[in-house]
Structure formats: structure tokens, C-alpha cells
């Protein structure tokens, strides 16, 4: 075995096992020799036998899990790693592997405790720290990811994966120059590391440097051709032409039984984008439905969760004397919240506001609603707004202000495009009385179709993969807005996407005035703004305003019956206006 003569080792181990059939150690040795030769099924059987012969030894179960994970059989791998952790609760490799398998299954939150335990047990080992840092990034906690990865790099600066993950964390923290340095260090250490190649490609893309990003994406295709995520991300900013082989490549991968469900989802959404670029609309919906159905399979969702959450929130907010008395000690910070459903035009509206010389675009900060939810949560439910002390409301505002000042220390005004902020509008207005709120609306047929045909970050917007759920979700969005409209008259400015693209200057002037800003012509030239944009609309907001995305739902009207039925009386009776359609224009 040590000499690399695995075929001979397998024969010797098999002979030995025939004489000692109850020896777990020999079965484990046989399995290892088989695994080294690529005999996956034989190795799985032998590792399984070894684990069964000695369930108190974690090594065979851990080895079994490794082979299963390499074969893409993640549910079985997780069970094997669980057995290893039960047998050896302090076995760091088993803990790391269990966390990795859960993470690859799209369950980073479930992986977190195992990665934390591994890092605690082996604080001087960079491997568990790298795993933990990666999970924090997946959980959208880049500050913790940075802290953990800094410890890993202090122990092992030559680890290219840690350098690339640090680049990823710093990108999410808005420290793009530092992030690029880490990606370049990773590439210097390991030029063909897909994580570093795609990380650099993605950063260049969000900075609007599309031509520079393209060769890095193409390189990622060559290095990791079975990973559909590279393709779907690239196509956000790339328009497919008839001579581009990318569509055929994606269809071949989509049809390949060896392709994982996670990659098939990405390939499916990528195929949809490519077909729409080529105006082959009649071929779109089978791939679109398959990609969404697979996503729902990996991330089950019950729309009743959303209905219950909204009902509980509105119940908690009822019985309060809105708009409420001024809160002593409330923050004087004046953020501009841009909120609405995904794909409604919120990125476009933020880009317009952020083109003002006194405003910094903050993007999706995801701070305010988290603070509000934390303040409202009591046990398994929500406490009533009327029972929350003014001092606690003031503290919410100060905590939010402190977070923004750390992130944007030199900014006069900051936009916050966290789309869920409409849920807590009244509470946030009390905590931040100088804040402005802009709600973006769009014809629900175009809005919801755009959500359905786009791939979001794994584990987010879980309602988006069912046409019926999309209609139901829109109804809850409408319900919340009407709740606040009745209680906070004039507290938010509404932008209708269709009106904005039809009359850009008139609607933009209204928008800028509603934000309490003086007019600047730069707000009409938003597409020239070079700020970083980290959303699906990264390409569109760098183009002049267009009517081209209006009425896109008409192409697929025959497939949208479930959505129309769920919308009920909120279904518009007429399209907003007649206009040409281009799927690349929707923001």
C-alpha cells in the first residue's frame, strides 16, 4: 500500500480477510486499496463491512463517508459521517467531513455546529478553520468568516483555498481591493483553483468589468466543467449569440445522468437565459420548470410559513398608536431604504439614487430587518409592539447606525436595498425617524415571472420555485404594504416600474425629491455609475433605461395559469403598455 501497488495490496488484503473475516482493520485495508484504484462500489461495500464489524471505530465509517461523498451520494455520506462522529465525537476529520457533506447538500446552518466543534478541538489546525470560514460565508456572515479565515491564514498562509475564501468574505464586506489581492495570492499559489478563478471572475463582474471577467469564467468552465454555477453566473452579464457553443455545452451537462441536482439546477437556469437571448422562447419552459422543480426538491418550502409569519407580524404591530410618539434618543441617521419584491426594479432605483453626489449605495445590507426581528422575537412568537420600551427602539436605531458607520465611515447618506425592510417599516421609522422609504412596484405578472426564471443564492427566496406560491407570496406583500399605508400615510414613496421606464425624468425627479435630495442630472445617467453592484441586475443597471422588459409574461402566458389563479383579484386586467420585450432588460 505504501509503495502505491494498490492492486497487489487488494489481493493480499482479500486473502487476509478470507482467513480473518471478523477483522474490521483488514476490511478497512481492503477497502482503501479498492478506493485507491477507483473501484468505488467495491470500496463502499468493504468500508461498510468494516464499519459494521467495529461500530466503535470511527475510521471505517469516516472512510465510507469520504468515498460516498466523492461519488456524489451525499445523503448516504452524511449518514456514514454521522456514524463516525457518534463513534468518535472528538475525531476532527469526521467532524469536518460531516460539515462539508451537509454544506454540499445545501444545509450550511446544519453544518455549522460540527465545523465549530472541529475548530474548537483543533485550534492550531487550519483545515477545520477553513471549513468553518467557508460555512460562515455561505450563511452570509462575512465578518465572522473573515475572523476565522484570518486565523487559518496565520497558521497556513500557503493555503490557496483559505486565500480565496478570504477574498470571498472581503468582497461581501465591500473591501474589494483587499479581496482582489487575496484572489491573486490564491492564484499565485494554485493557478487552477476553481474557487479562486471564479471568485476573481465574480468580483470583476460585480465591478462592471465584464470584458475582464469573461476569460476567467471561460477558464472556470475548462477547470470545473460539471459545475453549473459558473455558467449561470457568467450568463447574468453575457448575451449568447448563435455561434457561441455554451448552449449546447449546458444542454449536454443538463442531460448527463452524472450531473448533480445542484449543478443541473444551474445549468437549467443558464439554458433558459441562453434560449431567451436567442429568442427561442418555445423551448424555454420545460427547462425553466425542471430547474425550479429540482430547486424545490432540494429546498422544500411551505407557503403557509410565509402566511403565518405575516399574520403574526401584523398582529404584533396592531393595537399600537401609529405613527407613534417620537422616541427619546432615536438615531439621527438618515438612510434611504429601497424595498420591494426581488426583480421589481429595486436595484435600478437604488442605482439612480446612488448616482447622487451625496449618496453612497449600500446594496443589500440585511441589517435593519434582522435587528427588528431580534427585538420583536419572544420565545417562539413575537411580542406586541405596544409592549416594547422606547429605549429598546432607540437601541435598535443606534445599533443599525453603528453598523453603517463601520461599513461606510465617510458616507453622508447611504442607500439600503434590503428588500425585506418593508415588513418592519413602522418600527424602523420610529428607530430612525429621519430615514426615507422607497417602495418599488411592478406589474406582478412580469415581476413574478422574472423571479421564477432567475436563480437566487441557495436557500434564499424559497417561495420562488412554485408559480402558485409566487402568486400567494405577492398577496402577502400587498397585504403588508396596505397595512402600513393605512397607518403611516405619506411615510413611503412608491415607484411604479412601468411609469419610471415610460417617463424617466419626471419619475426620477419625484424620486429624488422624495429622498430629500436636491436634483442632480447625474441621477438620469445612472448607467454611468461605476459603483459595485452585487445583484442579478449587475448588467442591466449599467445600461440606459429601457421599456424592453415590459409585458414579457405574454410569451409564456399559457404556462402561468397557477400564478394567475393565486394572484386572484390582484391580477391586473390589462398589460401596463405595449412595448417590445427583451429578457435582458428586466431588473
CATH code assigned at 468: 3.40.50.300
Across 111-118, average pLDDT? 97
> Contact, 95 vs 125, CB < 8 A?
no
b/e string for 77-93 if b means 16 or more Cβ within 10 A?
A: bbbbbbbbbebbeebbb
pLDDT at residue 581 is higher than 70:
no
pLDDT (tens digit per residue) in 351-380: 999 999 999 999 989 899 999 999 999 988
Q: Is 379 helix (H, G, I), strand (E, B) or coil?
A: coil
SS (H, E, C) 429-464: HHHCCCCEEEEEECCHHHHHHHHHCCCCCCCCCHHH
Q: Is residue 544 part of a domain?
A: yes
pLDDT of residue 587: 40
DSSP string covering 279-303:
T-GGGHHHHHHHHHHHHHHHS---H
Confidence check: pLDDT of 530 > 70: no
Domain of 386 in residue numbering reads as 303-585
Query: Residue 290: inside a domain, yes or no?
Result: no
**pLDDT (mean) for 514-529:** 89
In a 3-state reduction of DSSP, which class is residue 21? coil
In a domain, 274, yes or no: no
The pLDDT, as a whole number, for residue 586 is: 38
Instruction: Kindly state whether residue 386 falls inside one of the protein's structural domains.
Output: yes
pLDDT value at residue 584: 39
pLDDT digits (tens, 9 = 90+) for 161-184: 999 999 999 998 889 999 999 999
Four-residue CA torsion sign, 502, 503, 505, 507? negative
Cβ-Cβ contacts under 8 Å for 366 (sequence gap 6 or more) = 140, 418
In a domain? residue 240: no
Question: Listing from the earlier edge strand, what are the strands of the sheet with 359-361?
Answer: 359-361, 413-416, 336-340, 436-441, 492-496
Dihedral sign from CA coordinates of 348, 350, 351, 356: positive
Number of domains in the chain: 1
The pLDDT confidence band at residue 458, using thresholds 50, 70 and 90, is: confident
Nearest to 110 by CA among 87, 82, 83: 82
Of 198, 133, 197, 125, whose CA–CA distance to 165 is shortest?
133
Amino acid 577: pLDDT: 40
Strands 336-340 and 436-441: parallel
| Residue 31 confidence (pLDDT) | 94
Which helix (H) or strand (E) element contains residue 360?
strand 359-361
Please give the C-alpha separations between residue 292 and each of 73, 265, 284, in angstroms, as whole numbers.
21, 7, 12
Give the whole-angstrom CA distance, residue 353 versus residue 359. 7
H/E run at residue 369: helix 368-376
**For residue 104, is it within any domain?**
no
Cell 451537509 identifies what position? 102
d(CA 582, CA 285): 16
Angle between helices 261-277 and 246-255 in degrees, nearest 10: 150
- Tell whether the model's pLDDT for residue 471 goes beyond 50: yes
Phi/psi for 346 (5° steps) reads -65, -35
Q: Cα separation of 355 and 413, whole Å?
A: 12
**Backbone φ and ψ of 390, nearest 5°:** -55, -35
The DSSP secondary-structure symbol of 326 reads P
Reduced to 3 DSSP states, what percent helix, strand and coil does the chain have, rounded to the nearest 5?
65, 5, 30
Q: How many angstroms separate the CA atoms of 447 and 441, rounded?
A: 9
State what percent of residues in the chain have pLDDT above 90.
86
Query: Within 13 Å and on the Cβ side, how many CA atoms surround 558?
Result: 6
Long-range contact list for 182-190, CB < 8 A, 24+ apart? 185/160, 186/160, 186/161, 187/160, 189/158, 189/159, 189/160, 189/163, 190/160
For range 206-227, the mean pLDDT: 93
Of 392, 337, 395, nearest in space to 366 by CA? 337
Please report the pLDDT score of residue 202 as a whole number.
94
In a domain, 194, yes or no: no
pLDDT single digits (tens) 310-353 = 999 999 999 999 999 999 999 999 999 999 999 999 999 999 99
Three-state secondary structure call for residue 426? helix
Measured CA distances, 167 to 172, 406, 534 (Å): 9, 19, 15
129 and 148 Cβ atoms separated by less than 8 Å: yes
Going by pLDDT thresholds of 50, 70 and 90, the confidence category of residue 547 is confident
Whether residue 105 has pLDDT greater than 80: yes
For the cut 80, the answer to whether the pLDDT of residue 217 exceeds it is yes
Q: What percent of the chain has pLDDT over 70?
A: 95
Distance CA 15, CA 37 (A): 18
Q: How many Å apart are CA 240 and CA 237, to the nearest integer?
A: 10
Please indicate, yes or no, if residue 109 is contained in any of the structural domains: no
Burial 231-270 (b: 16+ CB within 10 A, else e): bbbbbbbbebeeeeebbebbbebbeeeebeebbbbbbbbb
Q: CA-CA distance, 294 to 228, in Å (whole number)?
A: 14
Q: Where do we find the cell 477483522? A: 23
Residues facing 414 on adjacent strands: 360
Question: Residue 244: CB partners within 8 Å, gap ≥ 6?
Answer: 274
pLDDT category at 575 given cuts 50, 70, 90 is: very low
The string of DSSP letters for 64-106 reads: HHHHHHHTT-HHHHHHHHHHHHHH-TT-HHHHHHHHHHHHHTT
Phi, psi of 491 (to 5 degrees): -80, -15
Kindly tell me if the per-residue pLDDT of 585 is higher than 60.
Answer: no
Burial 426-435 (b: 16+ CB within 10 A, else e): bbbbbbbbeb
Average pLDDT of the chain to the nearest whole number = 92
Amino acid at each position: 500500500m505504501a509503495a502505491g501497488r494498490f492492486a497487489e495490496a487488494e489481493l493480499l488484503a482479500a486473502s487476509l480477510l478470507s482467513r480473518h473475516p471478523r477483522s474490521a482493520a483488514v476490511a478497512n485495508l481492503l477497502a482503501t486499496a479498492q478506493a485507491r484504484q477507483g473501484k468505488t462500489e467495491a470500496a463502499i461495500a468493504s468500508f461498510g463491512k468494516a464499519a459494521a464489524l467495529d461500530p466503535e471505530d470511527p475510521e471505517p465509517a469516516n472512510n465510507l463517508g469520504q468515498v460516498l461523498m466523492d461519488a456524489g451520494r451525499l445523503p448516504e455520506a452524511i449518514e456514514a459521517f454521522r456514524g463516525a462522529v457518534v463513534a468518535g465525537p472528538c475525531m476532527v476529520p469526521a467532524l469536518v467531513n460531516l460539515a462539508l457533506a451537509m454544506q454540499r447538500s445545501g444545509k450550511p446552518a446544519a453544518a455549522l455546529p460540527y465545523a465549530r466543534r472541529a475548530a474548537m478541538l483543533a485550534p492550531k489546525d487550519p483545515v477545520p478553520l477553513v471549513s468553518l470560514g467557508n460555512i460562515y460565508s455561505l450563511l452570509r456572515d462575512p465578518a465572522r468568516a473573515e475572523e476565522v479565515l484570518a486565523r487559518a491564514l496565520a497558521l497556513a498562509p500557503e493555503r490557496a483555498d483559505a486565500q480565496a475564501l478570504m477574498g470571498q468574505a472581503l468582497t461581501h464586506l465591500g473591501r474589494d481591493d483587499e479581496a482582489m489581492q487575496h484572489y491573486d495570492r490564491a492564484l499565485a499559489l494554485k493557478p487552477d483553483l476553481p474557487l479562486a478563478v471564479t471568485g476573481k471572475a465574480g468580483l470583476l463582474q460585480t465591478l462592471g468589468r465584464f470584458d475582464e471577467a469573461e476569460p476567467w469564467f471561460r477558464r472556470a468552465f475548462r477547470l470545473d466543467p460539471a459545475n453549473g454555477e459558473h455558467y449561470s453566473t457568467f450568463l447574468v452579464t453575457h448575451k449568447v449569440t448563435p455561434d457561441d457553443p455554451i448552449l449546447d455545452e449546458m444542454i449536454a451537462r443538463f442531460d448527463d445522468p452524472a450531473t448533480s441536482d445542484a449543478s443541473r439546477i444551474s445549468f437549467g437556469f443558464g439554458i433558459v437565459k441562453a434560449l431567451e437571448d436567442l429568442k427561442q422562447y418555445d423551448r424555454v419552459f420545460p427547462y425553466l420548470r425542471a430547474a425550479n422543480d429540482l430547486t424545490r426538491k432540494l429546498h422544500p418550502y411551505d407557503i403557509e410559513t410565509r402566511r403565518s409569519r405575516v399574520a403574526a407580524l401584523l398582529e404584533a404591530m396592531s393595537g399600537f398608536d401609529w405613527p407613534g410618539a417620537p422616541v427619546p434618543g432615536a438615531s439621527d441617521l438618515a438612510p434611504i431604504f429601497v424595498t420591494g419584491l426581488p426583480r421589481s426594479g429595486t436595484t435600478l432605483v437604488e442605482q439612480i439614487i446612488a448616482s447622487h453626489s451625496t449618496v453612497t449605495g449600500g446594496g443589500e445590507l440585511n441589517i435593519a430587518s434582522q435587528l427588528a426581528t431580534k427585538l420583536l422575537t419572544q420565545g417562539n412568537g413575537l411580542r406586541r409592539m405596544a409592549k416594547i420600551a422606547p429605549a429598546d427602539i432607540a437601541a435598535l436605531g443606534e445599533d443599525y447606525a453603528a453598523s453603517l458607520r463601520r461599513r461606510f465611515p465617510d458616507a453622508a447618506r447611504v442607500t439600503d436595498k434590503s428588500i425585506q425592510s418593508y415588513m418592519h417599516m413602522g418600527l424602523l421609522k420610529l428607530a430612525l425617524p429621519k430615514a426615507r422609504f422607497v417602495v418599488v412596484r411592478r406589474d406582478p405578472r412580469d415581476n413574478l415571472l422574472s423571479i421564477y426564471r432567475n436563480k437566487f443564492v441557495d436557500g434564499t427566496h424559497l417561495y420562488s420555485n412554485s408559480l402558485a406560491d409566487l402568486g400567494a407570496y405577492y398577496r402577502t406583500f400587498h397585504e403588508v404594504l396596505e397595512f402600513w399605508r393605512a397607518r403611516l400615510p405619506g411615510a413611503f414613496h412608491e415607484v411604479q416600474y412601468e411609469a419610471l421606464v415610460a417617463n424617466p425624468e419626471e419619475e426620477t425627479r419625484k424620486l429624488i425629491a422624495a429622498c430629500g435630495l436636491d436634483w442632480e442630472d447625474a441621477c438620469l445617467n445612472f448607467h454611468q455609475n461605476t459603483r459595485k453592484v452585487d445583484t442579478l441586475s449587475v448588467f442591466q443597471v449599467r445600461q440606459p433605461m429601457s421599456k424592453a422588459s415590459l409585458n414579457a409574461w405574454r410569451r409564456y402566458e399559457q404556462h402561468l395559469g397557477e400564478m394567475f389563479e393565486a394572484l386572484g383579484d390582484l391580477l391586473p386586467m390589462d398589460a401596463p403598455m405595449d412595448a417590445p420585450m427583451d429578457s435582458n432588460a428586466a431588473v
